Amino acid sequence: MDILLLNPNTSDGMTVRMLSVAQSHAAPGTTILSRTAPRGVPYISTRAEALVGGAIALEMLAAETASYDAVIMAAFGDPGVGALREMLHVPVVGMAEAAMLTACMLGRRFAIVTFAAALTPWFRECVEHNGLTGRLSAIRCLAESFTSINDVQSEKEEALVALANQVVADTETDVVILAGAPLSGLAERVKHRIPVPVVDGIAAAVKQAEAVASLHVCKASAGSFRRPGGKPSQGLEPGVARWLGGAIVPPLTKHHPETD
């Protein structure tokens, strides 16, 4: 199958890292392709930035001409995932949702460990949105600043491991999620230094995307994620305008249930 990894941040270095992690965890026969946001911010860390990133992601996918079996939203707060699920006929998997659901299969309560305090409110709301507040033991973040977003995991590796170990010692934590696109790949490197399972968001998203895509479920025609009715718009990117106008087959549709 073909899976698109979409980075709504503008950091190409981050995309390269996530793509490498995704490819290392993909099953034989799965091809991972990637796209990086052409504008926006280097890394999303606030609600406003997430809103911008989600809108840009919608534009990027509406302009796609290739076909995919699934899409991974490669930012931990899953900006725009709900909107994309409304529009697309293929599964859309959020990095945060995949990490948390995977953690729930490995233990009762999970902790989120990340690199910047600014991420905490957004990540907490992401947990609440997914109905998993009762499974969250804690969110812990580093207090000190970092030099480069592309190098934050290597720069702060020791501090992140210490923070993960501390949250396990202080709380009823069964699983640790190392959260944020810049930390992709770190879990594999440090998992033997933390006494509970450690989840990588991109690795989890790849396996969840493969699993859901292989089910070949039909696009919802009822419920909150059914395709909305068309309406006119003004000044939008052409692809988005077509989608909102009621175009029947989005360009990412690989297995369209009405025509297969």
The contacts of residue 187 (CB under 8 Å, 6+ apart) are: 178, 198, 199, 200, 203
Q: What is the separation, in whole angstroms, between the first and last Cα of the chain?
A: 17
- Report which secondary-structure segment, H or E, holds 160: helix 157-170
Q: Alpha helices of 34-146 — where are they, by DSSP H?
A: 47-62, 81-87, 95-106, 120-129
Q: How far is CA 233 from the centre of its chain?
A: 28
Query: What confidence score (pLDDT) does residue 254 get?
Result: 62
Rounded CA gap, 17 and 183, in Å?
Answer: 9
DSSP 247: -
pLDDT value of residue 122? 86
Residue 250 pLDDT: 55
List the pLDDT tens digit at each of the 260 positions of the chain. Answer: 999 999 999 999 999 999 999 999 999 999 999 999 999 999 888 889 999 999 999 999 998 878 899 999 999 999 999 999 999 999 999 999 999 999 999 999 999 999 888 888 889 999 999 999 999 999 999 987 787 788 888 889 999 999 999 999 999 999 999 999 999 999 999 999 999 999 999 999 999 999 999 999 988 889 999 988 889 999 999 989 988 898 765 556 665 444 33
Instruction: Note the pLDDT of residue 148.
Output: 78
Residues 205, 94: contact at Cβ < 8 Å? yes
Whole-model pTM: value is 0.91
* pLDDT number for residue 251: 55
